[in-house]
């Protein structure tokens, strides 16, 4: 998604949920500073992905339906995990090639997968500065930083509000032509400690709208809920 298309959506979402763009900017600068010693490596990761990104990917969300839909994933598929889906995938014997996270899942599992070569796209937003400071230094493998505000030096903004739709936006930006949605349930969010289901449901409806907005002739999205 072009930044010019994303920013009006971002500001609409921020207004609806009462998010602070100033706090997002602070978080973005925090992440950029944490990644600065690895800036060359981050650029190298992006170059590597852009040179050889697959046409078809399987993006896994953290919905309750994930377990039932794992059989839809071919054994050699390029699997992308949206944050909390990482743990379930690893427990099921599936190592994701890429993780998109704002660090509110089981971060230890993400750190372990990253150490074994899984690329991590770590995201900065207004209320995860403590998590960025605590966890980003633990990632020793390939890593890329993203933000949802105007990008600061060293970070990328491909669009996307939740980890799931951001993963789809990243896939499109890196060159995929088709994204299969596995474990996405936009109507029935899974519960997380400290998270209000009604708010989470509103966020997922935005995620659904964003994914629909980037779907088209050049980027097809296949939702596997219709097959289960």
* 135-144, 181-190, 216-225: range with lowest mean pLDDT: 181-190
Phi-psi category of residue 179: left, alpha or beta, with phi > 0 → left and psi -120 to 50 → alpha = beta
Find out if CATH 3.90.1480 is the number for domain 3-227. yes
Q: Model pTM?
A: 0.94
Mean pLDDT, the chain, rounded, equals 93
Whether 137 shows a pLDDT value over 70: the answer reads yes
CA 98 to chain centre: 9
pLDDT grade for 123, boundaries at 50, 70 and 90: very high
pLDDT of residue 199: 87
173 touches 158 (CB < 8 A): yes
Q: Is 55 exposed, middle or buried (0-12, 13-18, 19+ CB in 10 A)?
A: exposed
DSSP 84: T
pLDDT digits (tens, 9 = 90+) for 50-104: 999 999 999 999 888 899 999 999 999 999 999 999 999 999 999 999 999 999 9
32 touches 159 (CB < 8 A): no
pLDDT grade for 119, boundaries at 50, 70 and 90: very high
pLDDT digits (tens, 9 = 90+) for 157-211: 999 999 999 999 999 999 999 999 999 988 876 766 666 778 888 999 999 999 9
pLDDT digits (tens, 9 = 90+) for 20-50: 999 999 999 999 999 999 999 999 999 999 9
Q: Distance between CA atoms of 169 and 221, rounded to whole angstroms?
A: 11
pLDDT of residue 228: 41
141 touches 120 (CB < 8 A): yes
Q: How many helices (H) and strands (E) does the chain have?
A: 9, 7
Domain edges within the chain: 3-227
């Amino acid at each position: 998604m072009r930044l010019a298309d994303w920013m009006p959506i971002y500001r609409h979402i921020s207004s609806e949920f009462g998010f602070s763009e100033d706090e997002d900017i602070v978080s973005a600068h925090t992440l950029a500073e944490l990644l600065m010693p690895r800036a060359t490596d981050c650029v190298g990761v992006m170059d590597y992905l852009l040179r050889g990104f697959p046409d078809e990917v399987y993006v896994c969300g953290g919905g309750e339906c994930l377990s039932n839909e794992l059989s839809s994933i071919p054994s050699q598929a390029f699997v992308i995990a949206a944050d909390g889906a990482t743990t379930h995938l690893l427990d099921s014997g599936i190592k994701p090639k890429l993780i998109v996270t704002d660090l509110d899942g089981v971060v230890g599992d993400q750190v372990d997968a990253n150490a074994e070569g899984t690329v991590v796209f770590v995201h900065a937003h207004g209320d995860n500065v403590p998590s960025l400071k605590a966890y980003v230094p633990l990632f020793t493998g390939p890593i890329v930083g993203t933000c949802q505000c105007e990008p600061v030096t060293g970070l990328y903004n491909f669009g996307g509000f939740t980890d799931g739709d951001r993963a789809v936006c990243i896939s499109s930006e890196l060159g995929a032509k088709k994204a299969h949605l596995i474990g996405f349930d936009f109507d029935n969010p899974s519960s997380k400690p400290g998270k209000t289901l009604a708010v989470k449901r509103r966020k997922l409806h935005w995620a659904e709208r964003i994914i629909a907005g980037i779907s088209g002739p050049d980027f097809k999205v296949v939702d596997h809920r219709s097959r289960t």
